[in-house]
Amino acid sequence: MPCSSINATTGGGSDNGSLRNFKLNESTFLASLMPKKEIGADRFVKDHPEYDGRGAVIAIFDTGVDPAAAGLQVTSDGKPKILDVLDCTGSGDIDTSNVVKADANGSIRGASGASLTINTSWKNPSGDWHVGCKLVYGLFTDTLTSRLKKERKKKWDERNQEEIANAVKIVDEFDQKHAKFEDTDLKRTREDLQNRVDLLRKQADSYDDMGPIIDAVVWHDGEVWRVALDTQSLEDDPQSGKLAEFEPLTNYRTERKFGMFSKLDACTFVVNVYDDGNILSIVTDSSPHGTHVAGIATAFHPEEPMLNGVAPGAQLISCKIGDSRLGSMETGTGLIRALIAAVEHKCDLINMSFGEPTLLPDYGRFVDLANEVIDKHRLIFVSSAGNSGPALSTVGAPGGTTSSIIGVGAYVSPAMAAGAHAVVEPPCEGLEYTWSSRGPTADGDLGVCISAPGGAVAPVPTWTLQRRMLMNGTSMASPSACGGVALLISAMKSEGIPVSPYTVRKALENTCLPVGSLPEDKLTSGQGLMQVDKAYEYIKLSQNIPHVWYQVKISQSGKSTPTSRGIYLREASSCTRSTEWTVHIEPNFHEGANNLEELVPFEECIELHSTEKAVVRPPEYLLLTHNGRSFNIVVDPSNLSSGLHYYEVYGVDCKSPWRGALFRIPVTITKPSVIVSRPPVVTYSKMSFQPGHIERRYIEVPFGATWVEATMRTSEFDTTRRFFVDTVQLLPLQRPVKWESVVTFSSPSAQSFAFPVVGGHTMELAVAQFWSSGIGSNEATLVDFEVAYMVFHGIDINKEEVMLDGSEAPVRIDAEALLASEKLAPVATLNKMRVPYRPVEAKLCALPSTRDKLPSGKQILAMTLTYKFKLEDGAELRPYIPLLNNRIYDTKFESQFYMIWDVNKRVHAMGDVYPESSKLPKGEYTLQLYLRHDNVQYLEKMKHLVLFIERNLEEKDIMRLSFFSQPDGPVMGNGSYNSSVLIPGKKEAIYLGPPTKDKLPKYSQPGSVLVGAISYGKLSNAGQGIGKNPTKNPASYEISYIVPPNKVEEEKGKVSSSRCTKSVSERLQEEVRDAKIKFLGTLKHGNDEEKLEWKGLVTQLKLEYPKHTPLLAKILECLLAQSDVKDKIHHNKKIIDGADEVINSIDREELAKYFAFKSDPEDEDAENIKKKMETIRDQLAEALYQKGLAVAEVEFISEEKASAKATIEGSPDVATSGDEPVQRPGVPSNLFEEIFGELKKWVNVKSSKYATLLVIREKRCGRLGTALKVLNDMIQEDGDPPKKKLFELKLTLLEEIGWSHLLRYEREWMHVRFPACLPLF
């Protein structure tokens, strides 16, 4: 995720931007908005104006960069600022594989169905036009979409109010004209007019703007691929936004041109065409973040140089890795494509202001490829460290956890505080923001390499309707550092100094200005605040020294695994004794280094230093060659006090000590205090805080503790104070277990917390006063952080994860209080259901585009897995893939993405590694999972990947499980258990009973898993409802229940009590007949031969079984299923004839007599007869219904032809109204009314199954308001997925009524409900 937009951290320092009695003037104020002085960039550019980034190219891995944003058009030397703009995520991809030809009028049919006129000046030698379309909101950010929706709704409401006023006026005029109306027709007319008013009012309440659709056209002009968009749907003026008026664009890299959708959105975009015109990528940003980042690094404002970015002469490429479909979350696909693009464009630098927590540092597919890019192609990779501070070990991946990447922390100077942040009184010294992530990593690496200013007022996209804005975060620190490195690269290239990420990084780290005076401050700020001018001097001195990265691998002596990059003693057991560690230093050269000229001669005499030999003792010297060297160091923390201690072992070149540390071995010791009192009580009193100050405490959590209850009291301050309170524990192969809270005190008071802990592991408690909180006050804040009575609570159980196997047997749970007496009050609920699915199809393909070819030349492959599932009712659900979910960087798989769509191809949900729940209506669904990698064997192993559909149970279906004191309790119903008090040293057993089978959700399937949570303890300050919900308890665990096989139905297999009066021969004939009818339904009739065969079988069966209603109903069903009908009138007459045959085969008098009497439900024979008669009635109703539809369509088509003929011949149209439709050619005038009247006798014509006929009738009679009301009711009542024919009928009614604003609204929704094609991955 982007690492920006928060505030704060701590530090001290010597000359790191500190300025006592700091005062601003206009010049220093402007400079503070885009800080450069802090890192020496202003001094460097003043001394070397030609080295302002010229010649350096930066790849911005972010949310996308707006090429129209202020300061991002040209460099300081007049070159194009942005060389390319790419959407690496695919979120803007449009399928343009559909190729059409223009008609004689120069028009084509767009993918949306709209007729588009081609500009005659456009060159297209082939005549092939690739068409596609996209809902434009899918290209916009949520913020922009929200603004547009608000503005569009305002205009829509105005139009709707006009129509309501007109409709009300017509009603009033009717009432005045007809004071009394007894006539049925007048009543219906009055009802119709009122329905129109009601419909307009209801529509205003249900308005939901899904956005307009844009048509895209792609063609090859003989030289390049060209793109034009039709954006009429975005414009108020129907004459604006036409395709023919669009100035064609090509790939941004070719001409560096961009477009804007409309003046209303003010959103710029660029286009790129892939796969021979079959994929169009429309590139927009997914957040202002990327443009802001690019502005900090490179913006050039000739009219106001103070607002220039750090390297105004640098160029950049924009690589969008924040997927618009996911709200700007990065994806594996985006990350890998961005690396490919950076190499392809021969970039010098990468800036990535994104990151996530990780369970494995310096590991994963992206890390492997980034290492390759850095090592082989010599790119310098700069990234944000994260915004998860102030606790230690909170650095994120990849910036804070990857050895080859320069991780940057966020620094704020007094000038930044006074200017950009506009605080009343700036701090007297610069410091790290409170939220800036800290090291070390889980394997002991420092985590933060360097620091840079973490806030700026920088350019933002035009759609924000402002030129620049303030953002802060390590996201801002990273481009500040990256811009500083671009200055160095500019100088190196100008002076012919070879560029190496190894040399540059060493120069940065060894010339930093320390932030803070304590050794452990390095965990916050890295080596300190980078200084461009000093780094430049270092690089000049180092230009003839081999480009080497000193890889450090450490293991505890006697153990080969695991290896680490530093020494991190965190647990109490490792802080009480001396340990010996083996350190292996291996010099790594860039790929392609010459064996004889570089590797063989490499030999360095290294002097090893320790910052505190009493604790960390290394050997004194080391002779290092290309093949590396190992040595041992001894760490003795036994005499240290509890708390944080940081040391380093570093190596210095004996011959060139000016080079500084060639490598560093971080040694972090967090020696915890041990709680010996019982009950366990901890109190930290009178902690004094100033703005930015952090207090850290380390506690060995007692074994058996599972949660903590704590109280924070403040006193002796005046203005409002804001605190960050964090706790962190580190467990093997897990992301840091972190709890955090931000607390604001407006006056001295107390706050209570409860949070989970893991017994036996060290917990850091970090309490920090926000860096800008309390500034201007001369009073320190006094804080008592106390673990009062029974703070460390815990109930030890014999199984943390409980599984009920589906049997009637309960699960025994042993509980024990190890610390103090605890109330055992177990609560367990099952609130989710996971149903496993295997793919029904797996497709493997090689991706065709060059954007998916790795720098090594390998082509990336894609595996698409298809899953099918069905919902009998609406549900909230998400896909769950245990193997792949919740890992972006710490996984060897490249990427994953899923989409869920219905039978109409409407996409209801999509996501990647963090799937979210979505509400889906009843229906059948397809889920496709898209996996990418260049290794075909990895993908082949995924062909049968199990995926779970996890469904959230409704409140009425949530199961609250019962506890028992006896093993037979669930069956016998006795021994119910509620609560008891656990005494330390004494175990107590309880039994968790399974849910009763009749309480299982009706949709639960055998083999599915019900999951939920279980908790055992009770908070001392538990509020209302907490005791009923285990997830609200800070210490809760997962519980699961396997749904068993269904019970065998008691009636199944019983012989019917009714007597069978038919002979075996008669029954055999019926079975054969029914089999033939069933077979008839399976026949295809796509081509002429198949139709002839079907017709022959129909004729034969009619002769064999004349007037057999099921056969005739099946024939009618087959006629209705026929597609590709050329002569619709002829086809509908066949349907009418088929329906008549069904109707005539039924004795309607006998049927009516039967339904006039009630049958005995206890009589099995009577029930069987009832089912048979109901089936016959349904067949009759269906035949009448289909006949009515066919008659209406014949009339409609005939009318259209007659109208067209009349128009040609100049004959006037004949208007009709009321309940007496005029004579229609082709059918008797009263036939429809006869059919409708007959249907009303048998079924409720207002039901969703038959209401279409009622809609048509009301439409024929001119009562369009009533017709529309019936249609709306029908659509709402229909539980099945939307039917396109119904909505097309709705469009017809709206068009006839003349409600253009509703017509436009519904047409936009048609593209949502019934998209032309599925979106691309």
Which residues have a catalytic role annotated? 62, 289, 475
Report CA 522 to chain centroid distance, whole Å.
35
Tell me the one-letter amino acid at 54. R
Rounded to whole angstroms, the Cα distance separating 439 from 452 reads 16
Evaluate the omega torsion of the peptide bond into residue 562 and state whether it is cis, within 30 degrees of 0. Answer: yes
Distance CA(899)–CA(907), nearest Å, equals 7
CB-facing half-sphere around the CA of 11: CA atoms within 13 A: 38
Among residues 309, 411, 267, 341, which one has the least CA distance to residue 60?
Answer: 341
In angstroms, the CA 1033 to CA 1020 distance is 11
DSSP 63: S
Containing 951, the helix (H) or strand (E) segment is: strand 947-952
Helices (H), 518-663: 522-525, 532-542
CA dihedral over 840, 845, 847, 848, signed as positive or negative: negative
Give the neighbor-by-neighbor strand order of the sheet with 721-729: 673-674, 694-700, 762-769, 721-729, 737-745
Q: Which two tokens stand for residue 886?
A: 């919740």
- Strands (E) across 1236-1301 are located at none
- The dihedral region occupied by 627, where left means phi > 0, alpha psi between -120 and 50, and beta the remainder, is alpha
**Cβ proximity of 205 and 115 under 8 Å:** no
Separation CA 378–CA 383 (nearest Å): 16
Could you check whether the bond before residue 619 is cis, i.e. omega within 30 degrees of 0?
no
Span between the terminal Cα atoms of the chain, in Å = 20
Residue 166 class from Cβ within 10 Å (0-12 exposed, 13-18 middle, 19+ buried)? middle
Instruction: For residues 1225 and 1167, give the distance between their C-alpha atoms in angstroms, rounded to a whole number.
Output: 46
Closest Cα to residue 310, out of 127, 527, 480, 169? 480
C-alpha span between 1030 and 1010 (Å, rounded): 16
Phi, psi at 1125, each rounded to 5° = -85, 125
**Can you tell me the distance from the alpha carbon of 768 to that of 10, in angstroms, rounded to the nearest whole number?**
8
In sequence order, what are the residues at sequence separation of 6 or more whose Cβ sits closer than 8 angstroms to the Cβ of residue 1284?
A: 904, 1313, 1314
In DSSP terms, 270 is beta-bridged to 283
Q: Which CA distances in Å does 456 have to 4, 58, 526, 1238?
A: 11, 19, 21, 76
CB proximity list for 1118: less than 8 A, separation 6 or greater: 1080, 1081, 1083, 1085, 1094
Region label for 89, one of left (φ > 0), alpha (ψ between -120 and 50) or beta (otherwise): alpha
Compute the distance between CA of residue 1288 and CA of residue 1291 in angstroms, rounded to an integer.
5
In whole angstroms, what is the distance from residue 44 CA to residue 29 CA?
20
Residues 6 or more apart in contact with residue 595 via CB below 8 angstroms: none
Q: Token digits for 43? A: 């001094």
Three state DSSP letters for 589-651? ECCCCCHHHHHCCCEEEEEEEECCCCCEECCCEEEEECCCEEEEEEECCCCCCCEEEEEEEEE
241: closest CA among 231, 249, 251? 231
Q: If you search the block for the tokens 């967090």, which residue do you land on?
A: 670
Whole-number Å distance between alpha carbons of 407 and 29: 28
Q: Are 813 and 804 in contact (CB under 8 A)?
A: no
